[in-house]
Amino acid sequence: QVQLVESGGGLVQAGGSLRLSCAASGRTFSTYTMGWFRQAPGKERDFVAGIRWSGDSTDYADSVKGRFTISRDNANNLVYLQMNSLKPEDTAVYYCAGAGPYYSGGYDREYRYNYWGQGTQVTVSS
């Protein structure tokens, strides 16, 4: 069992930065591929970024490539999403999710993620 708790959301002006954190409980965190997804009002939840359980592979949605960076700290059961050059269209609830153990398929396959956090709101003003 893995429980996920996101933090770090808030209100920021366009062009600014935020770092989201996701704290995981459980001793098996290092065996889970982790992903960040987001859901804007009235829209479906979309993939943002993913990082392999081994930490040696990442992937990003085209809309955030070059602006967002996903990383993980397996020693402390944390995964991060550094968001730079934020745009109003990045406004959404951001969710942390875990797939595993030892999931090695596509990062954007939402149905593969068996654990989800409660979400954290990110609002980017123009």
Q: What is the pLDDT of residues 70-82, one digit of tens each?
A: 999 999 999 999 9
Looking at residue 26, what is its pLDDT?
A: 82
What average pLDDT does range 2-11 have in this prediction?
Answer: 96
Q: What is the mean pLDDT of residues 57-62?
A: 97
Per residue in 79-99, is it b (16+ CB within 10 Å) or e — as a string? Answer: bbbebeebeeebbbbbbbbbb
Give the per-residue pLDDT at 27: 80
- pLDDT averaged over the chain? 96
Give the Cα separation of 91 and 12 in Å (integer).
10
8 within 8 A of 121, measured Cβ to Cβ: no
Q: What's the burial of 32, exposed, middle or buried (CB within 10 Å: 0-12/13-18/19+)?
A: buried
**pLDDT tens profile 15-38:** 999 999 999 998 899 999 999 999
Mean per-residue pLDDT, 43-71:
97
Q: Considering the chain, what percentage of its residues have pLDDT values greater than 90? A: 93
Q: Which pLDDT score, from 0 to 100, does residue 1 have?
A: 78
Range 73-94 average pLDDT: 97
**48, pLDDT greater than 90:** yes
- Look at residue 2 in the predicted model and tell me its pLDDT: 84
